[in-house]
Chains A and B, each alone.
Chain A
Amino acid sequence: MPDALPGGFAAPLLRQPAQAGLGEAAAGWLLAAPAALALFALLLGPSLMLLALSFTDWELGADGLRWIGLGNYAELLEDDSFLAALRNTLLYVAVVMPASIGLGLGVALLVEGGTRLRAAFRAIYFLPVVSLLVAMATAWQFLLHPTIGPVNRLLGLFGITPVNWLGSSDWVLPSLCAIGVWENLGYVVVLFMAGLIAIPAELYAAAEVDGARSGWARFRLVTWPLLGPTTLFVVTITAIRCLRVFDTVAALTKGGPNKASEVLLHVMYKEGFTYFRIGYSAAITAVFLAVVLALMLLQTRILDRRVHYA
């Protein structure tokens, strides 16, 4: 009976199996249609358009466009700005992502381990996330000012010579990384705290009975494995947030001096919105999307296998 539905309880439907299946499929499609259309119109369609544009030389306001195949991508390989931006962005992710996740986990464990002021700490660490980054960048600009900034004044008390945090090509990327960690830390803390709360207390008691006496042993045997799903999510979201670094660069350094703080999204913005080269800008965006996708695939492939879903 190949047509029969599993289980015998759907007897009324069995009378006209083919028609019912068709009707059900149609209804299914109908119900899914609004969401599917929206998905296509808002996400897939524009992405395909973008991909198509990246093979053209269209400039904003130009009369027409020409199909230039991989021309834009070939130019990317010789473009100093783009290469510097790619290098700086990957460096930024490599520094900011582990630093904010490591620090965030530490802070979350400390806050969660304490007994008082949990909500207050959570709010304080979350402040940078809810504040407008461009406005905060102005505050950072003042803090890091080479001559009148409090940071250099403070260092001066210990006899350290002033550092030109945002104006020197050696220091500008480390400075932006520090601001990036500050920006992401609160987000990571809040996510990890949510993960920690979900771990049942009995597991810790059981681990202790089984001989896990030290805090480290409990962390290694209970906390860390059970935080797996949270960690996967945190790593994914932090990686994307780091890749998207733009506000601080646009507000503080404009990619300078001499491309020392150029990042992918800023180059894309400049190409598209200052140079009017939409086709080229689309190619940069395509590369950006490829990097994001590659990172996501890597993470889910590698991490998903090791994550223990309780």
Chain B
Amino acid sequence: MNHLTRRGALGLSLAGLGAAALHPAAAQTGSIELTVHYPMPAFFKDVMETIAAEFTAANPGIRIRYPAPSPNYEEAVQAVLRQGAAGGLPDVSFQGLNRLRVLTERRLPVDLTPFLAREGSAEARGWSQPILNLSRFGGIQSGMAFATSNPIVYYNLNLVRRAGGDPEKLPTTWDELLALSGRIAALGDGISGMHFRWAGDDWMFSALLYGHGGRMLTEDEKDVAFNGPEGHAAVALIDRMVKEGRMQPLTVDAALQAFYAGKLGIFSGTTAYIGSMLRSIGPSVELRTTKMPVIDPVRGRLPTGGNAAVMLTRDPSRQDAAWRFIAFATGPRGQEIMTRGTGYVPNNTIAPRDERYLGAFYRENPLFRPAMEQVPIAQPWYAFPGSNGVRVTETIVDNLARIVEQRAAPEGALADMAREVKRLLPR
């Protein structure tokens, strides 16, 4: 009775085909399936699943389908650019903030301004103007900031104590930080003082530049502006990290490993490391985080990293559902799920204040607080114009390497950097 005959198998597969053929028809009559693409599953997979589950529960007519996530921001923007040319774009995609510009130049994101207008006061929904500005490019609202980060300082209090530092009075200026780093490095036994994550991209360099109140390019984006007094002060500071803080030219991975092993006193980089730090540090590390040392209390700013939800569907009937999903993910509840799951900073002013969302979380998890407190001075991660953006970044990092390796004087490296970057800007 239970034998599956050949005819039975054929019948079954035919029935399957029939069901599949019926499926789109069913979808058209009320329920919509949104395709949502996101990067970095290691950070975001659980968060995305939870958001989809809660969103679908609240919006029964809309189902969320996640195709294979991209491993990083580079491949995520690649995937969307490719689909933009060949077809098959997802309805919504989460994209790195510094990649929104190239997407906008390729005219892929849908301007979200009309959707925001529909919501009434964006401010009242928790989307303040600074938050919206993180994902505004080329005069349109290219996306809605989802998970963002800014640079902070990580300390191993055990090494701070051994070097005679006070864990309750951690440095608030670079002078203090460099002196402490020098003392930690003097402990010997393979212990290094500090690592400032200068390699990889221009993000941490921009933290020093913005900290002095500087900017990357001039207002009209025709010329470099980082070779002014602010830029000189920034590279001089990197030079002092090596000379006074005795910073070694480590790769980022090597520096993190040394920190995990309790052999590095101070690490300065994105707040997004908190999660992996907590998982990876050994028993000899007592972790504490602080805000970045203040350079210019009035003009000083910090860069923002992270990603934003971008609407890609041009189909008006799907845009409505897509907007509802984006609004949920960047609303207070979506942002609570995201923050608890990752360590990134929420991009909704209601979430961190309200006891129903993250109010208690920030009281109980002080490691996450510095980044949150720095949000008011965080400005967008600058994306260079034209097609040489990544190469500009690389030129900056290469010249910083010369300073960190002490192969070039900071002024010389900055001058080379300015000359080389200028050549790469669109004419």
Contact = CB atoms under 8 A, between A and B. Distances in A.
Contact of B258 (A59, A61, A148): A148
Interface in A237-280: 252-254, 256-259, 270, 273-277
Nearest to B81: A61
B42 interface: no
Contacts of A61: 80-82, 84-85, 102, 106, 108
Interface in B144-192: 190-192
Interface stretch (A124-132, A163-171, A176-184): A163-171
B356 interface: no
Given A274-B74, A276-B387, A164 B258 contact: no
6 contacts: A142-B257, A147-B191, A167-B251, A168-B249, A256-B251, A257-B405
B254 A141 contact: yes
A163 to B, nearest CB: 11
A147 B102 contact: no
A276 to B, nearest CB: 6
Contacts of B84: 61
A182 B209 CA distance: 43
B320 interface: no
A278 to B, nearest CB: 10
Interface in A27-61: 59-61
Of the four ranges (under 10, 10 to 19, 20 to 34, 35 or more), the interface on chain B belongs to 35 or more
A81 B102 CA distance: 23
B200 interface: yes
A257 B82 contact: no
Given A147-B263, A257-B199, A277-B387, 18 more contacts: A59-B387, A62-B106, A145-B257, A147-B264, A148-B261, A148-B263, A162-B190, A167-B248, A167-B250, A169-B405, A169-B407, A253-B251, A256-B251, A256-B398, A256-B401, A259-B398, A275-B388, A275-B391
Contacts of B220: none
Contacts of A254: 199-200
A81 B424 CA distance: 14
Contacts of B249: 164, 167-168, 257
A146 B397 contact: no
A276 B258 contact: no
A235 to B, nearest CB: 33
Interface string A131-149: 0000000000110011110
Interface in B255-293: 257-258, 261, 263-264
B77 to A, nearest CB: 8
The binding surface of chain A is classed by DSSP as loop
Interface in B371-419: 387-391, 394, 397-399, 401-402, 404-405, 407
B78 interface: yes
A273 B82 contact: no
A81 B394 CA distance: 10
Given A148-B190, A276-B78, A277-B387, A256 B263 contact: no
A273 B78 contact: yes
B252 to A, nearest CB: 9
Interface string B81-109: 11011000000000000000010001010
B254 A145 contact: yes
Of the four ranges (under 10, 10 to 19, 20 to 34, 35 or more), the interface on chain A belongs to 20 to 34
A81 B393 CA distance: 13
Contacts of B264: 147
A151 to B, nearest CB: 13
Interface string B186-218: 000011100000011000000000000000000
A217 B74 CA distance: 58
B75 interface: yes
A258 B405 contact: yes
Contacts of B78: 60, 273, 276
A81 B258 CA distance: 30
Contacts of B387: 59, 275-277
A178 B80 CA distance: 39
Contacts of A259: 398
Nearest to B84: A61
Nearest to B254: A145
Contacts of B248: 146-147, 164, 167
B253 A273 contact: no
A115 B251 CA distance: 46
B423 to A, nearest CB: 10
A252 B261 CA distance: 19
Contacts of A142: 257
Contacts of A276: 78, 81, 102, 387
B258 A145 contact: yes
A74 to B, nearest CB: 15
A254 B74 CA distance: 14
Nearest to A145: B254
A62, A167, A258, A273: most-surrounded residue (chain B CB, <10 A): A258
Contacts of A162: 190
Nearest to A277: B387
A274 to B, nearest CB: 5
B190 A147 contact: yes
Nearest to B190: A147
Q: Top 9 closest A-B pairs, CB basis?
A: A61-B81, A257-B401, A258-B401, A147-B190, A258-B398, A167-B249, A60-B81, A61-B106, A148-B261
A167 B254 contact: yes
A257 B192 CA distance: 19
Contacts of B82: 60-61
Contacts of B199: 254, 256-257
A164 B391 CA distance: 26
A75 to B, nearest CB: 11
Contacts of B253: 141, 252
A167 B253 CA distance: 10
Contacts of B404: 257
B251 A169 contact: no
Nearest to B413: A258
Contacts of A147: 190-192, 248, 258, 263-264
